[in-house]
Amino acid sequence: MPRRVERVSELLQRELSRILLEELKDPRLRPLVTVTRVQLSEDLRYASVSVSIMGGLDEQREAMRGMESAVSFLRQKLGQRLRLRHVPLLRFTLDTSFEEGQRVLQLMDELRTKEAKGGE
């Protein structure tokens, strides 16, 4: 990935996080929403934004709907804050890596408990 694309991705991630925290007032985004990664196309016109959402499946779905409905607002705010020729089109994806990691840790704990009981 070219250095410019990498720098702009980091900048977008930081600014989107700030906008979500400080300016977006959608009640569907009450669960903790974190921008975990932004992947930009080489021409900087398209951004895939990965978000992690704490909460149950229903809360995650509602928060994703809220994110999709806020795309125009987010692009407008990015345009006001950043000096880019084109504000990229945003596409949000749910990042479930945290939940998957928690599940793996839980399985490892269960395995250790079973081994400890079997070793007695």
Give residue 120's pLDDT.
54
Both tokens assigned to 48: 């895939």
Both tokens assigned to 117: 């009981």
Q: 47 pLDDT band (50/70/90 cuts)?
A: very high
Q: 117 pLDDT band (50/70/90 cuts)?
A: confident
CATH code reported for the domain at 3-118: 3.30.300.20
Nearest residue to 90 (alpha-carbon basis) of 30, 15, 27, 6: 15
CA distance 65 to 70: 9
CA distance 32 to 52: 8
Which has more pLDDT, 46 or 99?
A: 46
Tokens 């779905």 found at: 61
Tokens 């081994």 found at: 115
Q: What percent of the chain has pLDDT over 90?
A: 58
Contact 31, 49 (CB under 8 A): no
* Whether the predicted pLDDT of 48 surpasses 90: yes
Q: Tell whether the torsion through CA atoms of 114, 116, 118 and 120 is positive or negative.
A: negative
Domain ranges across the chain: 3-118
Give residue 13's pLDDT.
96
What mean pLDDT, rounded, does the chain reach? Answer: 89
